[in-house]
Structure 1
């Protein structure tokens, strides 16, 4: 009788642990999805701002079609990306083309003084700050979930229920590099 009670107690403890760990995985997955959606909101704002920026630059930098086309092409690629890895790669490429676009303003003083251009540049800076914070939040959630997926004994629950590591939102080295514009 005592052995039966001990066995039932052990099974109950294991079941409660399993449920608790599973629920924490669900909570982290939902937070990751929420934070990923937050990143998407900032990216949409960024994508919506780019055509206005390109149109403003186009009026001043008529001979810079290659740069403007590269920005639009990178924007379209970023919009069509579906996975976190694809979004990161496409948005890193877009960041590089935007740097080239802003570097053009150095060669066109009228553009650099244009209030519309300056306002768009300020808006983009604010969006980039929000995007950075959204990525930091996502990465913090991904780190917590990834640790639980890998650490014993929660890794047993993760493998039994199909929870996997999440990719981090990363910035590629190419996107960090300075842009040189030569005329």
Structure 2
């Protein structure tokens, strides 16, 4: 009789461990999906930001052909950002965007009438709005990554995460350029 009880307890413990592992695995999947969703939100805002910048480029075409071609080339070379993009891809895209903004500043300095134009002012307001949305989306992403990384790094979750291939995600890092709000 004691052997049957011991075997029953062992089987029960094994069943409980399997149920716990399945629930934990599903929680990790859920958190990983939230990270993917947060990156998709960034991708959406980045895409909208580039669309607003493209509209601004259209406004500058009437002022200077050379700068317009430079800006168009910068936009054409940007990286495609989507929900599967890495933090590095977003950072590269952000550098291209900043380069395009600097090129627009050059055009605006040469043509003060452009800066006073309603089209320019409205479009710059849109760019600024999307830039703020990108910053907010990055904060949400980092918060989501923190929750996910905590889940997969804490013991005993780290054992299940290691066995099932869950890896920590990277954060967006703060840089001096990102700490300052744009001054357009």
- Please give the TM-score of this superposition, normalised by the length of structure 2: 0.80
Per-residue CA deviations over 1:49-71 (Å, capped at 9, x if unaligned) read 222211212323x2762xx4554
1:119 aligned residue: 122
Residue 49 of structure 1 aligns to a residue whose secondary structure is helix
Alpha-carbon distance, 1:106 to partner: 4.3
Measured in 2, the distance between the counterparts of 1:58 and 1:133 equals: 31
The range that moved more, 97-106 or 149-158, is: 97-106
Q: Deviations over 1:60-111 (max 9, x none)?
A: 3x2762xx45543333333435632223212223124314423643453211
1:9 to 4, 9, 12: 12
Q: Counterparts of 1:154 and 1:118 in 2: how far apart (Å)? A: 52
- Distance of 2:172 and 2:41 partners within structure 1: 12
Matches for 1:52-91 after TM superposition, within 5 Å = 52-60=55-63, 62=64, 65=67, 68-80=68-80, 83-84=85-86, 85-91=88-94
Instruction: Provide the rounded CA distance (Å) in 2 between the counterparts of 1:121 and 1:78.
Output: 19
User: Take 2:112 and 2:124, find their aligned partners in 1: how far apart are those partners?
Assistant: 15
The change in CA–CA distance for 1:178 and 1:10 in structure 2 (over 3 A counts) is closer
**CA 1:13–1:100: 2 relative to 1, 3 Å:** same
Q: Please state whether the residue corresponding to 1:59 is helix, strand or coil.
A: coil
What residue is the counterpart of 2:168 in the other structure?
A: 165
Cα distance in 1 between the residues matched to 2:126 and 2:177? 23
Q: CA RMSD in A?
A: 2.7
Q: Verify: 1:154 aligned to 2:157, yes or no.
A: yes
1:134 aligns with: 137
DSSP-derived class of the 1:163 partner: coil
Q: 2 CA distance for matches of 1:88 and 1:32?
A: 17
TM-score, with length taken from structure 1: 0.81
Consecutive unaligned residues in structure 2, runs of 5 or more: none
Number of aligned residue pairs: give it: 176
Partner of residue 44, structure 2: 41
TM-aligned CA distance change 1:14 to 1:7, over 3 Å: same
Residue 169 of structure 1 deviates from its aligned partner by: 3.4
Structure 1 Cα separation of the partners of residues 65 and 178 of structure 2 = 25
What 5-or-longer segments of structure 1 have no aligned partner? Answer: none
CA distance in 2: counterparts of 1:178 and 1:63, whole angstroms: 29
